[in-house]
Amino acid sequence: MLHLNLPHWDEREGVCRDCLERFTHARSRVGLYLPTPGGVTLPKFKILPTPLRLGASPRYTGRGVTIAFLDSGFYPHPDITQPVNRILHYHSVLTRRADLAELATPDDSSWHGLMTSVVAAGNGFQSRGLYRGIASSAKLVLVKVGTTRRIYHDDIRRGLDWVYRHRHRFGIRIVNISCGGDYEASYLTDPLSQAAERLVKAGVVVVAASGNAGHQREHPVLPPASAPSVIAVGGFDDKNTLDPNEHDVYHSSYGVTVDGLQKPEIIAPSIWIAAPILPGTPTAQQAALYEQLSRAPDGELRAILAQHTGIDAELDAAAHLEPYQLRLLVEGKMRNEKVISGHYKHVDGTSFAAPIVSSIVAQMLEVNPRLTPQQVKRILIRTARRLPNIEADRQGWGVVNARLAVAAALNGGDILPSGHDFHLNGL
């Protein structure tokens, strides 16, 4: 397992206790998805779970912490509603009401917020706990601020204002914003940035995606991520391995804001992220069919296709092929469509790096509720790990370090652990 994920590792160098625990945990999770002695083959293990890839402590899961999510729309997915519904409230700034029927009706606008909220706080209910978020016990407040077609600058501001007015009612400690404004602006005059700053002053940690324009000539970090007190999160690519030598930067937005601030502050995984598929959609039907076909014996493939005509036209046309040809076609479709299983696919973007950081903040506030937003930000920065050979302006202070951040929170906020092994072994 170590050599598989760390091809550059020399066993003569030994291994630290933290690394050994991490790989032992990885092996146990992979074991859940290997063929069983009884001959039943479970889904292939394809994407590393987020807590595992960051080495996050399984002991802390955001208990007692409420995260508000601002996004285009949401859906009450089983990973956040089963066995206990952890959604405290849903509000739409577009209709100015809490319409639970709207929340429960899936549409194109539901998917993005469904993914961001579950990436942070899902418990992996539909994967037997495998694809859970780091804050799998946190409570959620869902605030719709737009649609798939458009999220307006001022609607994000209205969402933040709503959170400010209701922060005590729902005990909101963190706001995750996986969307951005329409234009660059100084935080001194921009109402959206000022709304974010006001929340931070009120004791709420604000985390925002930096954007995905790093590969373009112009790649500014827009409000609210550009505001001084907001934790702007960029991305990196871990290549779906546990080998830090393979890590590379993602094309997240970066640079100096109009106020002279360098953004983002930190980076987190932003590709190969397991996220739920929106139920009741054609994509969900296709993913379920692909998984059923991948599980079935050769002799049942054609019968399954005959029972599910109309779901995938290419498979309908290929139903006459030999089993090995059908399997190659199905595997190719799962790979091209990024399907992991009938319930999950892997996604990319800083929209998913931000909720990963929000989930780590939930761990920090669970172990030390007295932390201020300023202390949280300082801890995340001081415990981050720089990617070698990558410009500092693209990664800020580097890759978020889940265990060290929680260890620092346990040690009183500003006081970082002096002996990492001593503190980390207890996590």
Catalytic residue among 57, 71, 91, 237: 71
Task: Kindly give, in sequence order, each residue whose CB lies less than 8 Å from that of residue 33, ignoring residues fewer than 6 positions away.
Answer: 42, 43, 44, 45, 130
* Residue 346, token pair as written in the block: 């892997």
* Residue in this structure with the two tokens 């089993």, named with its chain if needed: 323
Are the CB atoms for 245 and 336 separated by under 8 Å?
no
Are the CB atoms for 364 and 379 separated by under 8 Å?
yes
The Cα angle at residue 58 between residues 425 and 419, in degrees rounded to 5: 25
Asked about 248 being catalytic, the answer comes back as no
Asked about 112 being catalytic, the answer comes back as yes
Are the CB atoms for 171 and 66 separated by under 8 Å?
yes
CA atoms of 350 and 196, how far apart (whole Å)? 19
Asked about 351 being catalytic, the answer comes back as yes
* Residue 45, token pair as written in the block: 């293990």
Which long-range CB contacts under 8 A does 5-10 form with residues at least 24 apart? 5/241, 5/242, 5/243, 6/242, 6/243, 6/245, 7/243, 8/243, 8/245
Map residue 358 onto helix, strand or coil.
helix
262-263 and 255-256 strand pairing: antiparallel
CA atoms of 382 and 408, how far apart (whole Å)? 9
Are the CB atoms for 216 and 259 separated by under 8 Å?
no
Catalytic residue among 77, 91, 112, 153: 112
Catalytic residue among 351, 358, 359, 423: 351
Buried b or exposed e, range 315-330, using 16+ CB within 10 angstroms: beeeeebeeeebbebb
Q: In the 8-state DSSP scheme, what is residue 1?
A: -
Active site residues: 71, 112, 351
